[in-house]
């Protein structure tokens, strides 16, 4: 009885083992590892051009669409170099427009708050709309109370640039050139300006700025794209998390002109050295925040001690897991938390842009440098070259 039981158990076990082996054998062999795509298989980056609109003087303006091999897309016009759309994948691979913009070309001409534009000849403010260079005083137009903001009444954001698209193996882009005449908006010297936009297959959008002059002048060029990494029209950016690689900032007076001091960010709302939500910093009781109606301040980047392209900021958006990093050769960065947006613009998504609907990280020299002898110089002389580079790179975390 005992033996019988053992042998039937043994037979049953043998059957189970045999069946398992057979099932195992009938499984298809594991697929061989997939070879990386050949250059031919990889989708190719492209650049195309279409009509964007016509200025009141009859000048036709174009819109360039750059798409990289991952499907990231940038649309930029030769009117002010304005970036009208920037489509970037989120943590699930879904691509959404993350830059603020307007509905039509005519809306852009009606003087919006510099959405997506190249800023020049002098980014940010020049106090009392004047500066002295080599003993001579230059008077500029006042377009921000008694001060000059972003190059004057008709800055580089409102001019038509020559545009030359280019394609490379792993990048596409447009070279924008513009000659700002001697005396234009009050600035001395014919300024030959070139700004190259490049979209790489590594999801980087870079801006290379170059200028030369035939008379001593001041130059401070930047890009004024506004971002909402949760997607354009998707509420405010107060939940975005910022890290800014700056130990100091330049405090301002109530008209947002720097006092001339360079102060530590320690124990101020401007300490972004460890990741912090924007909302935790714009609704605090602080005189500087009051002056800016939020953050509208120049950060003195740590890179002052390190030449070349270095990390200035990292921004992440928790719901979509998008991350944007800013690398720059510039010593400063104006962090503007969209404080003047007031629901009044023809937003492209149809949803109004309220306060803090977007943020801008404008890499640059410090505001009002032409009147601030202790700030890094923005003077450009004949024979010298102005060179500056900033890279916005996009990823997910
Ligand atoms: C910059 C300025 C701000 C504001 C915006 C555009 O960031 O510092 O004060 O002018 O541009 O509205």
CA of residue 125 to ligand 1 center, whole Å: 9
CA of residue 94 to ligand 1 center, whole Å: 31
> Domain for residue 302, yes or no?
yes
> Domain for residue 32, yes or no?
no
pLDDT at 187: 98
pLDDT at 346: 83
* pLDDT value at 128 more than 90: yes
| SS3 state at 34 | coil
Give percent of the chain above pLDDT 70: 89
> Domain for residue 5, yes or no?
no
> Domain for residue 167, yes or no?
yes
343, 396, 376: which is closest to 100 by C-alpha? 343
The residues carrying an active-site annotation are 224, 362
> Domain for residue 35, yes or no?
no
Longest dimension (CA), the chain: 118
Residue bearing the bigger pLDDT, 278 or 40: 278
324, burial (CB in 10 Å: exposed 0-12, middle 13-18, buried 19+): buried
Conformation bin of residue 157: beta by default, left when phi > 0, alpha when psi is -120 to 50: alpha
The CATH number linked to 270 is 2.70.98.10
> Domain for residue 235, yes or no?
yes
* pLDDT value at 3 more than 90: no
Counting ligand 1 atoms within 8 A of each CB, the residue from 102, 112, 124, 221 with the most, and so the one to mutate, is: 124
12-65 pLDDT, tens digit each: 444 344 444 444 434 445 555 555 555 555 678 999 999 999 999 999 999 999
CA–CA gap between residue 95 and residue 98 (Å, rounded):
9
Counting ligand 1 atoms within 8 A of each CB, the residue from 112, 336, 340, 359 with the most, and so the one to mutate, is: 336
CA of residue 124 to ligand 1 center, whole Å: 7
Mean pLDDT of 251-275: 98
72-113 pLDDT, tens digit each: 999 999 999 999 999 999 999 999 999 999 999 999 999 789
CA–CA gap between residue 144 and residue 138 (Å, rounded):
17
Concatenating the DSSP letter of every residue in 354-369 gives -TTS-BEEEEESPTTG
> Residue 291 is inside which H or E element, if any?
helix 287-292
Q: What number of helices (H) and strands (E) belong to the chain?
A: 4, 27
Mean confidence (pLDDT) of the chain: 91
User: For residues 227 and 237, is the Cβ–Cβ distance under 8 A?
Assistant: yes
Residues with CB under 6 A from ligand 1: 113-114, 124, 149, 256, 296, 334, 336, 340, 360, 362
* pLDDT value at 5 more than 50: no
284-339 pLDDT, tens digit each: 999 999 999 999 999 999 976 567 899 999 999 999 999 999 999 999 999 999 99
For 28-42, 213-227, 241-255, 261-275, which range has the lowest pLDDT when averaged over its residues? 28-42
pLDDT at 32: 55
Can you give the residue range of the structural domain that contains 135? 46-396
pLDDT at 111: 76
Q: How confident is the model at residue 7 (pLDDT cuts 50, 70, 90)?
A: very low
> Domain for residue 8, yes or no?
no
User: For residues 105 and 116, is the Cβ–Cβ distance under 8 A?
Assistant: no
* pLDDT value at 206 more than 50: yes
Backbone angles phi, psi at 132, to 5 degrees: -110, 135
CA–CA gap between residue 309 and residue 327 (Å, rounded):
6
CA of residue 143 to ligand 1 center, whole Å: 12
Mean pLDDT of 133-159: 98
> Domain for residue 55, yes or no?
yes
Its pTM stands at: 0.89
Domain count, the chain: 1
């Amino acid at each position: 009885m005992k033996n019988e039981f053992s042998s039937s158990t043994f037979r049953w076990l043998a059957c189970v083992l045999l069946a398992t082996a057979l099932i195992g054998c009938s499984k298809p062999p594991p697929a061989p590892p997939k070879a990386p795509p050949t250059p031919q298989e990889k989708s190719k980056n492209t650049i195309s051009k279409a009509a964007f609109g016509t200025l009141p003087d009859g000048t036709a303006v174009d819109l360039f669409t750059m798409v990289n091999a991952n499907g990231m897309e940038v649309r930029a016009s030769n009117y002010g170099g304005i970036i009208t759309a920037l489509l970037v994948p989120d943590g699930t691979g879904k691509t959404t427009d993350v830059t603020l913009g307007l509905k039509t070309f005519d809306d852009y001409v009606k003087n919006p708050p510099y959405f997506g534009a190249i800023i020049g000849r002098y980014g940010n403010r020049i106090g009392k709309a004047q500066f002295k260079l080599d003993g001579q005083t230059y008077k500029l137009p006042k377009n921000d109370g008694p001060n000059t903001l972003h190059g004057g009444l008709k800055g580089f954001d409102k001019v038509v640039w020559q545009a030359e698209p280019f394609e490379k193996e792993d990048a596409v882009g447009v070279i924008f050139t513009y000659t700002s005449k001697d005396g234009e908006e009050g600035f001395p010297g014919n300024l030959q300006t070139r700004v190259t936009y490049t979209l790489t297959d590594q999801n980087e959008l870079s801006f290379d700025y170059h200028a030369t002059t035939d008379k001593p002048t001041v130059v401070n060029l930047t890009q004024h794209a506004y971002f909402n990494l949760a997607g354009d029209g998707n509420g405010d950016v107060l939940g975005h998390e910022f890290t800014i690689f700056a130990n100091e900032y330049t405090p301002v007076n109530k008209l947002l002109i720097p006092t001339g001091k360079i102060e530590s960010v320690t124990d101020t709302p401007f300490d972004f050295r460890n990741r912090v939500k924007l909302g935790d910093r714009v609704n605090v009781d602080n005189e500087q925040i009051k002056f800016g109606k939020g953050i509208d301040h120049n950060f003195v980047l740590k890179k002052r001690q390190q030449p070349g392209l270095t990390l200035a900021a990292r921004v992440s958006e928790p719901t979509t897991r998008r991350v944007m990093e800013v690398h720059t050769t510039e010593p400063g960065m104006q962090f503007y938390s969209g404080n003047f947006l007031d629901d009044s613009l023809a937003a492209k998504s149809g949803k109004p842009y309220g306060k803090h609907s977007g943020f801008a990280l404008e890499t640059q020299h410090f505001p009002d440098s032409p009147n601030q002898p202790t700030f890094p110089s923005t003077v450009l002389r004949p024979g010298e070259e102005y060179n500056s580079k900033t890279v916005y790179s996009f990823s997910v975390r």
